[in-house]
């Protein structure tokens, strides 16, 4: 009696598993972590929470995006701190320069000749106060208080051309500072406004300083081109 042929069943196939869906917020979190870290700090924690809750893929993307976002935050903080430090250093340097410009390198009295640290010889020959106005007719300029006229000569003893102007001259009554009145230049053609003085040359003119009525200046300071120390003439 012959045996019946054996029947072999095909091997069981594993059940089909659909590919795991990648969490969209994880992709967005990675992109924002690269391009705009503040948004990445918000999206990536959300993506981590969703991948855990929903079983979706993208946890690695969210972690990478969060790291990039934190790096962006740290870099921004470093830049801000460095910028503030640089700004502080710049302000300190400006204050130092201004302080140096406001120092007095030489002192004397009216009639003396004082040489600035840029080798400009300054002579204040006279100071006349009590002037109600400067000039005549349509070109007359009235003082708010009264004018003090400062007669000044500047001689360039350096090897370079130098700018000499009325804005270099300051008057003082006590600790109060008074600048030259540029509008008074319209009334007097002898007013020193601005001159470019070559080496060896001199310029002479008047500078008018407006002070309160009945007042007179205690001292005159001349600062050569705003960057050097002043020379001071007392009255």
Q: What's the half-sphere exposure (Cβ side, CA atoms, 13 Å) at 182?
A: 6
Higher pLDDT: 76 or 195? It is 76
Identify whether residues 113 and 214 lie together within a single domain. yes
Among 230, 106, 223, 100, CA closest to 168:
223
Q: Which residues pair with 156 in a beta bridge?
A: 120
137 pLDDT higher than 70? no
Identify whether residues 110 and 192 lie together within a single domain. yes
Cα–Cα distance for residue pair 94/11, rounded to 1 Å: 87
What is the residue-averaged pLDDT of the chain?
82
What number is the average pLDDT over the span 89-99? Answer: 63
Identify whether residues 38 and 60 lie together within a single domain. yes
Higher pLDDT: 139 or 197? It is 197
The region of weakest confidence among 30-39, 80-89, 189-198 is: 189-198
Identify whether residues 88 and 60 lie together within a single domain. yes
Identify whether residues 129 and 228 lie together within a single domain. yes
How many domains in the chain? Answer: 2
Helices (H), the chain: 24-35, 37-54, 59-101
What is the CATH number for 200? 2.60.40.1240
State pLDDT tens for residues 46-78. 888 888 888 888 888 888 888 998 998 999 999
Instruction: Collect all residues with Cβ–Cβ distance below 8 Å to 234 and sequence separation of at least 6.
Output: 107, 108, 109, 110, 218, 219
Task: Give pLDDT, residue 162.
Answer: 86
Residue at 181 is within a domain:
yes
Cα–Cα distance for residue pair 28/35, rounded to 1 Å: 10
Q: 116 φ, ψ to 5°?
A: -75, 170
pTM for the predicted model, two decimal places? 0.55
Cα radius of gyration rounded to whole Å, the chain: 40
Residue 173 confidence class, pLDDT cut points 50, 70, 90: very high
Identify whether residues 108 and 79 lie together within a single domain. no
Residue 227 confidence class, pLDDT cut points 50, 70, 90: very low
Among 68, 64, 34, CA closest to 47:
64
Cα–Cα distance for residue pair 198/120, rounded to 1 Å: 11
Q: Which of 75, 99, 123 corresponds to the end of one domain?
A: 99
DSSP state of 232: E
Which residues span the domain enclosing 214? 104-234
Identify whether residues 212 and 146 lie together within a single domain. yes
């Amino acid at each position: 009696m012959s045996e019946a042929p054996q029947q072999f069943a095909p091997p069981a196939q594993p059940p089909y598993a659909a590919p795991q869906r990648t969490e969209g917020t994880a992709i967005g979190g990675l992109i924002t972590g690269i391009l705009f870290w503040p948004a990445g700090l918000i999206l990536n924690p959300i993506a981590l929470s969703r991948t855990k809750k929903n079983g979706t893929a993208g946890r690695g993307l969210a972690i990478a995006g969060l790291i990039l976002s934190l790096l962006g935050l740290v870099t921004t903080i470093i830049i801000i701190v460095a910028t503030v430090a640089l700004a502080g250093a710049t302000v300190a340097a400006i204050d130092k320069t201004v302080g140096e410009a406001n120092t007095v390198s030489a002192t004397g009295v009216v009639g003396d000749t004082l040489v600035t640290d840029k080798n400009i010889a300054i002579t204040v020959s006279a100071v006349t106060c009590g002037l109600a106005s400067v000039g005549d007719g349509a070109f007359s300029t009235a003082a708010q208080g009264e004018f003090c006229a400062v007669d000044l000569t500047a001689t360039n003893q350096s090897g370079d051309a130098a700018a000499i102007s009325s804005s270099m001259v300051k008057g003082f009554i006590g600790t109060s500072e008074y600048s030259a009145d540029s509008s008074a230049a319209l009334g007097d053609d002898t007013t020193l406004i601005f001159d470019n003085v070559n080496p060896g040359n001199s310029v002479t003119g008047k500078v008018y300083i407006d002070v309160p009525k009945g007042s007179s200046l205690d001292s005159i300071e001349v600062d050569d081109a705003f960057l050097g120390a002043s020379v001071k003439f007392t009255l």
